[in-house]
Amino acid sequence: MGKVYDWFEERLEIQAIADDTTSKYVPPHVNIFYCLGGITLTCFLVQVATGFAMTFYYRPTVTEAFSSVQYIMTEVNFGWLIRSVHRWSASMMVSMMILHIFRVYLTGGFKKPRELTWVTGVVLAVLTVSFGVTGYSLPWDQIGYWAVKIVTGVPEAIPIIGSPLVELLRGSVSVGQSTLTRFYSLHTFVLPLPTAIVMLMHFLMIRKQGISGPL
């Protein structure tokens, strides 16, 4: 085992990376409220794991979506647990994100030189809400259906481009299979990648600039 470690150490300098990670200075004013961002990240990782597990059984069609969710909850081994964890960690992620934003704002963490860190955080907030909107529709029950109908109908009030924008979101004039396909694709394929990239940028900036000092 030692030889294997030495082989990787010689090429990747693992020990130097570990020393840099564990020796980072933590200001004395930091308290539990500074952990809210990390908790949000943890919730996101839980979402990825549980969401990936459910893709093996979920069927994104208007005729089978609801029944496939019921199948996950009643027939799949620990399916009820996986979906419940996915659902509650989603709510927790949004809650922790909101509290994290308040903490950063109240402690002045958005001020120079951390403006770009704040901007990436706002982008992550938008992406998180987008996850919530798209994921809410996937069970294709009454709540999900009408939520999608209302959300996608909001842009219709915009002059000139409103109607084309609604049709773009829905995939057709009315809510149906095209809408579900779009939301499923956004939720599982489109949104995760930019979220992971912006998260990486966010944490690298925090790592570079450190935690902001007390007011």
Sequence ranges of the binding site: 35, 86, 100, 187, 202
Whether the CB-CB separation of 166 and 155 falls below 8 Å is answered with yes
Annotated binding site for heme b: 86, 100, 187, 202
Angle of CA points 199, 204, 205, to nearest 5° = 100
CA distance 21 to 156: 49
CA distance 2 to 124: 41
User: Which has the closest alpha carbon to 175: 6, 62, 58, 99?
Assistant: 62
Annotated binding site for heme c: 35
The SS3 assignment for 139 reads: coil
CA distance 210 to 24: 9
Q: At what angle do helices 142-153 and 177-185 cross, to 10 degrees?
A: 80
CA distance 118 to 121: 5
